[in-house]
């Protein structure tokens, strides 16, 4: 009789343990999906075999537009793709045309359209970018300025970066390292150069507090031509401040022309 009770007790504990494990796994999966953002749809991975395309690097924008029921227009112009997706204009000199479809680098979807695409199994999954990814607080503003907007390719650029608390409360910032800001130069929606401030000098967590109307001002003298191939034309420059909590604060872009 006692053996039967023990066996029943063990069986109940086993069932309870399995239930806890399944619940924990479900919470883990849901948390992962929440971290990725709101799922907006999915479609099968069907890459053309006639050309070499890596599924984690290029995505068929036609299928994304069809899945999201968004308007898409594009044309090949001057050796690059120009078009509009969901009312947002884009341009890229990196693309693949195959089987009547246009394949674009996956980072364009994140940077331009606010969606994140990953592969699970044999399908592409489309996620809406979480709002907190690029906004720490509506009261916190990041602004950059340069001394002019036209430069020679090997000329130094003087850049000022202003982080301002426009609100009525203190804002506490926590940084993952001594890195306080990045400066990023882009062309055709593709990053061509990046400067990380203070990177590698300190690995401990740093913090600072901005009181109402208080600001942090940084200045930087940069010369992207020393580290990257900068051609004649117009580029976009912006600043990022990465934090432990609240994501990444990003400034508006400035048009910089190299002559």
Please identify, among 129, 151, 169, the residue that sits at the C-terminal boundary of a domain: 129
pLDDT tens figures, 228-249: 888 888 899 999 887 655 567 8
Name residue 116's beta-bridge partners.
Answer: 127
As for how many domains the chain has, the answer is 2
77 and 171 assigned to the same domain: no
Q: Cβ neighbours of residue 141 under 8 Å, at least 6 residues apart? A: 162, 163, 164, 166
Domain stops at, among 129, 145, 163:
129
Closest CA to 55 of 121, 129, 130: 121
Residues 78 and 185 in one domain: no
When pLDDT is averaged across residues 69-90 and rounded to a whole number, the result is 84
Q: Where residue 149 sits, what CATH number does that domain have? A: 2.60.40.2360
- Give the pLDDT confidence of 204-237 residue by residue, as tens digits: 456 778 888 998 888 888 888 888 888 888 899 9
Asked if residue 112 and residue 147 are part of one domain, the reply reads no
- For Cα atoms 233, 161, 181, give the angle at the middle one, nearest 5 degrees: 95
Residues 95 and 44 in one domain: yes
User: Quick one: 92 and 197 in the same domain?
Assistant: no
Looking at the fold, whether 139 and 117 belong to one and the same domain comes out as: no
Label residue 50 by pLDDT band (50, 70, 90): very low
Residue 25 lies in a domain: no
Instruction: Say if residue 59 is in the same domain as residue 120.
Output: yes
Same domain assignment for residues 139 and 250: yes
- Residue 83: the pLDDT is 86
Q: What is the pLDDT of residues 112-143, one digit of tens each?
A: 676 777 766 667 777 765 443 344 456 788 89
Residue 241 pairs in a beta bridge with 249
Domain that holds residue 209: 133-258
Tell which of 106, 129, 152 closes a domain.
129
Residues 137 and 122 in one domain: no
What's this model's pTM, rounded to 2 decimal places?
0.48
């Amino acid at each position: 009789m006692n053996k039967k009770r023990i066996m029943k007790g063990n069986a109940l504990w086993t069932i309870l343990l399995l239930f806890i494990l399944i619940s924990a796994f479900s919470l883990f999966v849901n948390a992962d999906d929440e971290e990725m953002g709101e799922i907006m749809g999915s479609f099968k991975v069907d890459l053309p075999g006639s050309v070499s395309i890596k599924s984690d690097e290029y995505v068929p924008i036609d299928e994304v537009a069809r899945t999201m029921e968004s308007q898409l227009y594009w044309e090949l112009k001057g050796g690059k793709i120009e078009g509009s997706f969901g009312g947002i204009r884009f341009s890229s000199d990196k693309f693949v045309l195959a089987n009547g479809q246009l394949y674009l680098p996956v980072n364009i979807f994140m940077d331009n359209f606010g969606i994140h695409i990953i592969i699970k199994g044999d399908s592409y999954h489309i996620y809406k970018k979480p709002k907190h990814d690029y906004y720490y607080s509506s009261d916190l503003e990041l602004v950059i300025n340069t001394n002019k907007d036209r430069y020679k390719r090997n000329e130094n650029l003087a850049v000022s970066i202003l982080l301002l608390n426009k609100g009525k409360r203190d804002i506490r910032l926590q940084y993952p390292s001594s890195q306080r800001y990045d400066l990023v130069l882009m062309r055709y929606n593709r990053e061509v150069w990046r400067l990380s401030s203070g990177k590698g000098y300190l690995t401990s967590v740093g913090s600072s507090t901005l009181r109402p109307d208080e600001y942090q001002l940084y200045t930087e003298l940069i010369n992207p031509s020393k580290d990257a191939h900068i051609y004649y034309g117009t580029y976009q420059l912006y600043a990022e401040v990465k934090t432990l909590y609240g994501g990444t604060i990003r400034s508006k872009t400035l048009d910089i022309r190299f002559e």
